[in-house]
Structure 1
Amino acid sequence: MKLYSYWRSTTSYRVRIALNLKGLSYEICPINLVAGEQKAPDYTALNPGKGVPTLDLGDGTLLTQSLAIIEYLDAVVPEPRLLPTDPLQRARVQAAAQTIAMDIHPVNNLRVMSYLKANEGLTTDGQLEWFHHWMTEGFAAYEALLPEGTTFSFGDNPDLADVCLVAQLYNAHRWGVDMSPFPRLLEIEERALSLSAFDGARPENQPDAT
């Protein structure tokens, strides 16, 4: 398999974690989002959304969108499970994951920030204020969804919610978000990053890291 990825992309980070947890081998194909390589015709033929990640299964099949890719991986390689089989628990894990993937991430990604800077005159300080506001709002909502007394977000093993959380926390640290109100989330992050699957997926451990 080939994973078209950018080292600092949180969506790519999610898929790298999932692939590592499943013990699957894959080749990283770097796509430099800052340089605009995602807009090149040869890449948009693979991913019309002009983003990352894209997973090439090796037989001509291409998958896009991180949550869809991870759900596919969970279906074809069931262990370790990232989505519970129990419908109620599955919905709860998905709700937490989507709080990050659909509420926090879309308004903080590169294309949105570039648009706000170029077309709305958003200053550097304005960008930071924007980042901090939406991440803080989202993390508060995420934490409120968690049960008490679990090692990770929903149990003793990491799941889809933890995958999304750890990737988003990378951005939070990068942009200086005050995480002091969320010690539990930082504890979950520390436990996750002690696992080789998470550690190997870190942005700084990628071949295109600069």
Structure 2
Amino acid sequence: MSGTLYIVAAPSGGGKTSLTRALLEREPGIVLSVSYTSRLPRPGEADGVHYHFVSRGVFEEMIKGGEFFEHALVHGDLKGTARAQVERVLAQGKDVLLEIDWQGARQVRERMADTVSIFILPPSRAELERRLRARASDSETTIRRRLADSRADIAHAQEFDYLVVNDDFAVALADLGAIVTTRQLRAVQQRERYSALLADLLKEA
């Protein structure tokens, strides 16, 4: 049984990273795919943990080599998911979670129709700006650009299977958990998971 591929996207400041990290703690069976990026690490970020940080030249060579499952230009930087690592984990029957933007999500859905895509929305524009400023690591120009880009991001929210509003963190996390549980309880997966039980229950007395 192949694993499920989950896609989670959000505008910058939507709380995607905090929510997905909390979800992974609750669902240890889901493997986080660490993306590649051409940007420099932010304070507190570690290579191989938050992203695989490579130069733009290296990233472009990887694109030419067909090494990415998806890739896109996001806020002026290249980001992408390595094809081999995702396919290997899914083939092992494990679920994989991708934190990507709408462009990458569209590419993934074109390659793998049976994905579960989730878009995280902020509760308001004012709260989105507050979160971006609370980072205290971006310049005013960067914040303004991210706010402008967020409109384009949110315009593609309707392309996703699920929308989760991140107003109350605990509620949003519970919503994500409910999506995962619903997927896990699908009959096609349960039949394979409990094939021995079904066979036993169907035996004639």
Using the size of structure 2 for normalisation, the TM-score is 0.28
Q: Going by fraction, where is helix more abundant, 1 or 2? A: 1
Which protein has the larger Cα radius of gyration, Structure 1 or Structure 2?
A: 2
Question: How does the TM-score come out when normalised to structure 1?
Answer: 0.28
